[in-house]
Amino acid sequence: MALPTAAIIGVFVIILLWNTIKILKEYERGVVFLLGRFHKVKGPGLIILFPFIMTMTKVDLRVIVMDVPTQDVISRDNVSVKVSAVIYFRIVDPEKAVIRVADVFEATSQLSQTTLRSVLGQHELDDMLAEREKLNKDIQGLLDDRTDNWGVKVANVEIKHVDLDESMIRAIAQQAEAERARRAKIINAEGEMQAASMLAEAAATLAKEPQALQLRYLQTLKEVANERTNTIIFPLPLDLIEPFMKSRLAGKKDA
């Protein structure tokens, strides 16, 4: 009978030591309760607990990556989209994370979903597509403020996907095509304006310098002579034709 008694005592001692001695890793902390009341936060390293009167809840302090399920969001311009995101957070106060909320991970997940819908619903579709960085910071700031009471620090929020239905994709493509056509017309109009302005400046310069006008006339004759054509048009300056026109008009009046 001695052997079974020794075995029972040995098992009892092993169970006692198992409940008394705890080892926490560098990234772990233990929230210790004494007779049901909060005692202190311990760790990392070797932790000794008094059995039956002291209990401990382990808390992981590493950064946690949590996917936010796809949410149906209606933007401010009444466009329905599906948005998914990911959040990065960690527990900075183990006492609050254990005492003030029953399940800190579930609470953070639910809060991130409602905050995502709330923030994106205040913006138009163009903002969701073009200003993700700003929206990420807005969502991160709200989540960080609201989870501070749970001992949670939200480090970052990233919007992963903004999914549109086919009709909206076609409408956006048509809008982009119209915008490109508008810009092309503006560029052509600006080019015409610049060309007209430069021609006006050139004409004013030639008008001030008769020699320059004569040189331009001779250069034009040279270019026309080099063309392979049977018809050659000689441009005549108006100052050469004007005396003949005046004399002809005077002769008609005398008749």
Q: What is the pLDDT along the chain (255 residues), one digit of tens a residue?
A: 445 777 777 776 777 767 788 889 999 999 999 998 999 999 898 888 888 888 999 999 999 999 999 998 888 888 888 999 999 999 999 999 999 999 999 999 999 999 999 999 898 888 888 888 999 999 999 999 999 999 999 999 999 888 887 766 566 666 667 777 788 888 888 888 888 888 777 777 766 766 666 666 667 666 666 666 666 665 555 565 566 566 666 665 555
Give the separation between CA 128 and CA 15, rounded to whole angstroms: 57
What the block records as the tokens of 153 is 């620090």
Together in a domain, 156 and 82: yes
Given 164, 194, 220, the domain boundary residue is 164
Together in a domain, 68 and 155: yes
Given 164, 191, 225, the domain boundary residue is 164
Farthest CA pair distance, the chain: 160
Domain count, the chain: 4
Q: Which of 88, 107, 87 is nearest to 97 (CA)?
A: 107
Together in a domain, 190 and 134: no
Residue 115 forms part of a structural domain: yes
Specify the long-range contacts of residues 41-48, CB closer than 8 Å, at least 24 apart.
41/94, 41/95, 46/21, 46/22, 47/21, 47/22, 47/23, 48/20, 48/21, 48/22
Together in a domain, 126 and 151: yes
pTM for the model stands at 0.64
Residue 33 forms part of a structural domain: yes
Together in a domain, 190 and 203: yes
Together in a domain, 219 and 129: no
Given 26, 42, 59, the domain boundary residue is 59
What the block records as the tokens of 168 is 């909206």
Q: Which residue has the tokens 């003949």?
A: 244
Together in a domain, 159 and 186: no
Together in a domain, 32 and 43: yes
Together in a domain, 46 and 87: no
Residue 171 forms part of a structural domain: no
Contacts of 45 (CB under 8 A, 6+ apart): 23, 24
Together in a domain, 160 and 104: yes
Q: Which pLDDT score, from 0 to 100, does residue 171 have?
A: 63
In this structure, the number of other CB atoms found within 10 A of the CB of residue 36 comes to 8
Is residue 151 a contact partner of residue 100, using CB atoms and an 8 Å limit?
yes
Residue 16 forms part of a structural domain: yes
Together in a domain, 28 and 70: no
Is residue 104 a contact partner of residue 152, using CB atoms and an 8 Å limit?
yes
In this structure, the number of other CB atoms found within 10 A of the CB of residue 127 comes to 16
Residue 180 forms part of a structural domain: yes
Residue 53: give the domain boundaries.
9-59
Contacts of 112 (CB under 8 A, 6+ apart): 66, 68, 85, 87, 139, 143, 157
Together in a domain, 70 and 139: yes
Residue 116 forms part of a structural domain: yes
Residue 129 forms part of a structural domain: yes
Residue 47 forms part of a structural domain: yes
What the block records as the tokens of 209 is 């310098």
In this structure, the number of other CB atoms found within 10 A of the CB of residue 88 comes to 15
